[in-house]
Every structure is written in C-alpha cells, then in structure tokens.
Amino acid sequence: MRKIEQLKEQLLGYKNLAVAFSGGLDSSFLLSVANEVLGKNVSAFTIDSPYMARYEIDEAKEFCKEKGINHIIINAQISEQIATNPLMRCYFCKSNVFKMLIAKGRELGFENFADGTNKDDLGEFRPGLKALSELGVISPLTIFTKDEIRKFSKELGLKTHDKPSYACLLTRLPQDYKFSLDDIKIVELAETTMMSYGYKNVRARYDTKCIKIELNQKDMSKFLADENFKEIIKTLNSLGKHDIVLDLKGLRQEVLQ
C-alpha cells in the first residue's frame, strides 16, 4: 500500500478533523488529502500572529478559497514566555497557540486536531513537538519524508510542491533577545524585498546592527550579478541604519526551533 493510501485510511477513521494550517508544503498536503477524504468534515485553522509573515497568511487564505475549505483565522499576540526569544520559544509558542486552536475547534464541534509534522522533523531539535504531544495533537505525516511530501504534492497538482520551507520570523532574531515589533517588521520587509526580485528561498537574519542575507549557492551568484543589485541594496538600506551583509556560507537550516 502506498503511503498516501495509508494516510487516507488513517484520516477516514476520524469523524472530523481540524488541521493546523500555515499554508506551507506539509500542512497544504495534509489539508488537501483530508479534504478529499473527509470533505466538509475538515476545516483549516490558521494562527495569525505578529511574527508570522503577512504573505504566508495571505497564501493560506488563497489556498483554502481555491479548494473551498472552511478556514478559521485565530489571532494570537506575543506572550511573555517568548518575549525574549528563549531557546524553548517554540515549545511555549506551540503550547499557547494550539491551546487556542483546540479551544476554538471544540467550540465548533471538532474532536480531532492535526498538524503537518513530517518524518524529517522528528530527527531535529524541535521543542514544539513536545507541546503537540502533551496536547494530543495528531501528526499523520510522520510516515513521510519531506521529499516524499513534495513528490505526492506534485502528483496532486498542488502549487506548494516546490515551496521553500519557512518558519516564524522569530527564528531570524538572536536567542535571549527582547525583540520589538519593529525588529520583526524589518526582517519581514527584508525578505519580501528579496522575494519580489525572484529570490524565493531566503533568510534575513537581524541583530539590530546588521541585516544578514542568506541565499543558496546558486542564488548567491545570481544575486551578485543581478542588474537590480544596487536597487535591492538601496531598498534594504532604507529599512534603517544597518549594515547589509551577504552570508557566504549560504542558506542554513532554521535555528532556534
């Protein structure tokens, strides 16, 4: 039995399902399959917080609209537990927002709650997984690697099949640093600026003194030779009095997960 059939069989066992939906590769795949199997008995729940990029929220809304999936947006603020970007930030964050999600879901009659954690995630430092386990959140995609999810997403015709992996904007800021909303906005604007010029897989690390741009090796060469290079740098400079640095080590896996 193919893994996607295993997934469908598992999902059929639920009367209804509330899917935590970020609009990324994993949750888009899970939501699509759940929608195919459960129809109107599945809904997407998206957390809208100051540290989520606006384009991700917009893409999540667009995805659900195209698929005709009921979409619930839950607004969340920055809690005191994560205000200094601690090492265990992801645990506190997921614990808080999933409690909100579950409470709203139960209010609407949902009994089962799922997220898009995949097999590759299990081997990484992800404190947030502990919070999900404590709250009884189901992770049906742990039988799939990230590459398998991309493969099956492409088979299903999902435009998210080649979408780069993202994480919340707090991962771009230093650990144990009391950040401001302005810090978050600078990171978001730096990344959306790069994306607007075609650099979709990008990170903008920020420590109040320096905006450090991370690109993969192929895009790094393209960026340095880009005819719009000066215009891009001018836009990045307009975000404040910061040094603009290109990290020659290239794009790294997310830190502070």
Give the active site residues. Answer: 168
CA distance 95 to 99: 6
- DSSP 8-class letter at 122: G
| Distance from chain centroid for Cα 117 | 11
Using CA atoms, how far residue 9 sits from 39, 54, 73, in Å, is: 14, 34, 28
Neighbouring residues of 72: CB distance < 8 A, sequence distance ≥ 6: 43, 44, 45, 46, 104, 108
For 47-58, b/e burial (b = at least 16 CB within 10 A) is bebebbbeebbe
Of 204, 188, 190, nearest to 238 (Cα)? Answer: 190
